[in-house]
Amino acid sequence: MYCKQCGKELRDSSAFCEYCGTRAGFGKKQEPVNTMSIVGMIVAGISVFLNFWGLVGIAAVLLSAMGLIQINKSGEKGKGIAITGIALGTFSIIYGFLMIMLFM
Ligand SMILES: [Zn+2]
């Protein structure tokens, strides 16, 4: 592990470079959380309360699935978030479907 800024060798345990103070990058730990997966989970959270016959759940599953695809390509964080969004969204779709059945 070498400092990206000054090129000095760093100990694996140090989060910051001892020589120049630059934040040390540790591969995957430095990757940001995928935005699409966050949006997907927010929509999934909304879909639990504002179901709209499962339509919001469908949007949540689509967004989360897109997030998951992006994560697999880019190595970003947020896989758990995306999977939670898909699970919650699927629950909402089933719930919405049951609601339609009840009202018909
Ligand atoms: Zn440095």
How far from the centroid of its chain's Cα atoms is residue 92's Cα? 19
- What's the pLDDT score for residue 84? 97
User: Quick one: pLDDT at residue 34?
Assistant: 96
pLDDT for the residue 86:
98
Which pLDDT score is estimated for 30? 64
What sign for the dihedral angle of Cα 68, 72, 76, 78? Answer: positive
Q: How far is the CA of 30 from the centre of ligand 1 (A)?
A: 16
Question: In angstroms, what is the span from residue 53 Cα to ligand 1's centroid?
Answer: 55
The one-letter amino acid code at 56 reads V
Ion ligand 1, residues whose Cβ is below 5 A away:
3, 5-6, 17, 19-20, 22
Q: How far is the CA of 16 from the centre of ligand 1 (A)?
A: 8
Residue of 2, 26, 7 whose CA lies nearest to 15: 26
> Which residue ranges of the chain lie beneath pLDDT 50?
27-28
Q: Give the span between the Cα atoms of 48 and 45, in whole angstroms.
A: 5
Predicted local confidence at residue 77, as pLDDT: 92
pLDDT at 6: 87
Q: Quick one: pLDDT at residue 20?
A: 87
Residue type at 44 in one-letter notation: A
Question: What is the pLDDT, as a whole number, of residue 25?
Answer: 58
Q: Which stretches of the chain are assigned E, i.e. beta strand?
A: none
Ligand 1 centroid vs 23 CA: distance in angstroms?
A: 8
Question: How confident is the model at residue 3, as a pLDDT?
Answer: 81
Residue 53 CA to residue 62 CA, distance in Å, equals: 16
